[in-house]
Structure 1
Amino acid sequence: METVHEAGAVARRGRRAGRSAAALLVGGALLLGTAACNSGGGGAGSTDAGGGSGGGSSASAGADAAPKVSTAQLTVTPANGAADVDPKDGVKIAVAGGKLTTVEVADKNGKAVEGKISDDGLSWKPTGQLTVGTTYTVAAQATDAAGLVAASSSTFTTLTPAKTASTNDNIADNGTYGVGMIVSVNFGKAIKNKEAVVAGVTVTGSDGTVAKGHWFGDRRLDFRPEKYWAPGTKVTVKYRLKNVEVSPGVYGDIDKDEPFTIGRYQVSTVDAAAHTMTVDRGSGKTETIPITAGNDQNASWNGTMVISAKEKVTRMNSATVSNIKGDEYDVPDVPHAMRLTTSGTYVHGNYWSSAFGKSNASHGCVGMADVKGGGDSTSAGKFFNSSIIGDVVKIQNSKGQTVAGDNGWSGWTIPWSKW
């Protein structure tokens, strides 16, 4: 039987248990409240200005604020920092996962390298030439399907040639030449990449005439148009060879323009059989001069030749000419000499013979009447004074062979179809 004291004790224990349970409930609520603050920060009733609207959690807000990266991937060749880049390799820029929008390539002075983005937007190639020994900067941008931009910037340096091939021609800047002038270019080293060199040299006239190049061996490149130049034409030789690898490891040495002018018309025709030279000065103006050409043993060359040099007086010695037959000669004061071939053919004055208009008595040259020391009023003197470098002299009806195209500036003898 329970006593009154026992009943009271039980009641007191029950009340203490109830208070403990209530405390636990309150504590649990406080813990839940603390967890909600730590993980939320933007719940209902929050005064935190950094909280997002709509009661989103800080975790989701952080994800929204993270930067998005473009899926476009740019590839630039040469790589950043590359050195000794071969100019002919150029610059290549490509993109995957997007389209190119902007490409800028320039040297340290800001001079741009011209180029073009492909129609599909996936690549860029230069249309201009890179220069040797130059540092370039590249800046490229592309966008992906979402419009996000990817960018790349880099630098590279082209090689400085250790070897170059010298370039020399027969043109004087702003000189005046005859209608048959051939531009003859000689290189200091053998040329292997001939097509690249031809592409790097252009010879064009103000009237649109274009001269075509023809190789004689691997060091000489001559240019001429299909027909003689028109009088008064302004011609420009443009060299763009410094960035051209003319042979393995060897580059050209020149980037420059050389202008010259074509003078009045004068074309002379030697008839070796008739012992005459007809000088055609255009507009129907002609003059016939008695001459003597090469004898049967030393016949003059046939073909179209060009005056390449003029000397008021020169020495002619058979010892300096190959394959001379018959008597040797040494004339120290040949007047009014105009060279036609490298093998020694001249049109010149002659004061020691009387064969003009009668017979061929020379060792291959074309001789005209003159006086010792040269006279301006003689046939030779008048022709000398009227002639300029580049004038045409054609020899026909000789018993000799046809002159080779590289014997002097005799490329006109070669048919255009074979030039």
Structure 2
Amino acid sequence: MRTAVRRARRAGAALAAVLIFAGCDAADEELGKPRSPEDLIRVSPDDAKRGVSTGERLRVEVPEGHLQSVKVVRTRDAQEERVPGRLEDDGRTWRPTGPGGGRLALAAKYTVDAVAVDGEGRRSARHTTFTTAVPDERFIGYVTPENRATVGTGMIVKLEFNREIRNRAAVEKAVSVTARPAVEVAPHWFGKTRLDFRPEKYWKPGTEVTVALDLRDVEGAPGVYGLQRKTFSFTVGRSQVSLVDAKNHTMQVRRDGELLDTLPITAGAPRSTTYNGKMVVSEMLEVTRMNSRTVGFGGEYDIPDVPHAIRLTDSGTFLHGNYWSQGVFGSSNVSHGCVGLRDVKGGSALTPAGWFFDRTLVGDVVEVRGSADKQVAPDNGLGGWNLGWSKWKAGSARS
């Protein structure tokens, strides 16, 4: 009997101890025991999460008290960058600010360090990290003209993308072309891989043009994201416009509106006429090889050393030196569509071809009139000047 009584007393004491312990916990809750950092400071996306979509939003918040400080660092391409942000007026929510409006970057690691003060004035700190998705496919744009180039007044800014662009409006928005002195510059799409920019009229000499690409993480097509965030610039030099009269076999060269010289030329023969219209110099070669098979002809010619070759179209129209034809300059058209100037084998600065080459810039305009051919297509080389301003602007994805 005594043993049973002692056991009952010990059990009662143990139960009392349990109740007292539980009562202490309850008392601590009532007295305001600090909440864990995970409960007090809530970070989205979740800690240690991988492959986070760029559509998720970065946010730090507390249900009570206020945030004292928030520091977010983005690490990408082995470079760290502080993510700017601001607290809401009540001090309970932090959101990123700046370009992109808080959109997360691809292929990046984010580190969040936040300090908060709860309703009882006690401080807590939380450290979290997450990584964003790495895209399988990227696109880039190749820019014409070259960075820091000095070009003629007819230069058109050309972006050629390495992949088809389906979200053209988003890509167009991420590219800006600005000029000093200021002038309206409008975009025009040619197909799904090319975006050109130009003003209404030829650039004013001395204009400084800046091309800014903010394509990084822009979705150009489903699952295909941009890679570049770069700035290019070029300067517009003097004005030079040359007028080729295919019918009369001459070319007038005007510099800043003044006639420099009139040169005898030969243009395309009746069976292979030269395009009419405005063409822009896109490439200059001291010497090059020209093979008829590369431009859709048969085996009519293969000249390994064409001197002073100035490219006018992507399809193969050049203004170049010619040493193999005699007695044709200024009198007849015998070429396969190019514009020829008298030259000598190996080229010479003393010939009409050498004289013109030495006075030409990429971006200069050569306009052909009087040919029996059609007008050059606006996407053949830098032929966009052959479109009127309203039609040009209508080619914007956001028009």
TM-score bracket relative to the smaller structure: 0.7 to 0.9
Residues 178-197 of structure 1 show CA distances to partners (whole Å, capped at 9, x for unaligned) of: 22222322222222222222
Residues 77, 63 of structure 1: alpha-carbon distance in 2 compared, 3 angstrom cutoff: closer
Other-structure match for 1:24: none
Matched, 1:314 2:288: yes
Equivalent runs, 1:11-22 vs 2, <5 Å: none
Q: Which deviates more from structure 2 when the two are superposed, residues 105-114 or residues 339-348?
A: 105-114
CA distance in 2, matches of 1:415, 1:118: 50
Other-structure match for 1:174: 148
TM-score by length of 2: 0.74
Other-structure match for 1:83: 50
Q: Which deviates more from structure 2 when the two are superposed, residues 334-343 or residues 113-122?
A: 113-122
Equivalent runs, 1:127-142 vs 2, <5 Å: 127-129=98-100, 130-138=104-112
Matched, 1:345 2:312: no
Matched, 1:161 2:135: yes
Other-structure match for 1:254: 228
User: Structure 1 regions of 5+ residues with no counterpart?
Assistant: 1-58
Among 250, 253, 259, the alignment partner of 1:279 is 253
Other-structure match for 2:73: 106
SS of 1:291's equivalent in the other structure is: strand
Residues 143, 192 of structure 1: alpha-carbon distance in 2 compared, 3 angstrom cutoff: farther
The answer (yes or no) to whether the contact 1:266–1:282 under 8 Å persists in 2 is yes
SS of 1:387's equivalent in the other structure is: coil
Residues 228, 147 of structure 1: alpha-carbon distance in 2 compared, 3 angstrom cutoff: farther
CA distance in 1, matches of 2:348, 2:283: 19
Tell me how far 1:265 sits from its aligned partner: 1.7
The answer (yes or no) to whether the contact 2:116–2:125 under 8 Å persists in 1 is yes
Other-structure match for 1:27: none
Question: Cα RMSD between the aligned structures?
Answer: 3.8
Tell me how far 1:281 sits from its aligned partner: 0.9
Residues 150, 405 of structure 1: alpha-carbon distance in 2 compared, 3 angstrom cutoff: farther
Letter of the 1:111 partner, please give it. E
CA distance in 2, matches of 1:167, 1:328: 36
Percent of residue pairs identical? 45
CA distance in 1, matches of 2:175, 2:45: 28
Among 361, 379, 388, the alignment partner of 1:406 is 379
Residues 235-271 of structure 1 show CA distances to partners (whole Å, capped at 9, x for unaligned) of: 3322222322222222223222223222222111212
CA distance in 1, matches of 2:328, 2:276: 20
Among 187, 212, 223, the alignment partner of 1:213 is 187
Other-structure match for 2:264: 290
Other-structure match for 2:370: 397
Tell me how far 1:338 sits from its aligned partner: 0.6
CA distance in 1, matches of 2:374, 2:385: 15
CA distance in 1, matches of 2:179, 2:390: 21
SS of 2:82's equivalent in the other structure is: coil
Residues 375-409 of structure 1 show CA distances to partners (whole Å, capped at 9, x for unaligned) of: 21111110011012121111123211111122112
The answer (yes or no) to whether the contact 2:308–2:347 under 8 Å persists in 1 is yes
Residues 150-192 of structure 1 show CA distances to partners (whole Å, capped at 9, x for unaligned) of: 9987433222233222433333332222222223222222222
SS of 1:383's equivalent in the other structure is: helix
Tell me how far 1:98 sits from its aligned partner: 10
The answer (yes or no) to whether the contact 2:70–2:94 under 8 Å persists in 1 is no
Residues 346-391 of structure 1 show CA distances to partners (whole Å, capped at 9, x for unaligned) of: 1112231323233333221111222232221111110011012121
Matched, 1:380 2:347: no
Letter of the 1:112 partner, please give it. R
How many corresponding residue pairs? 357
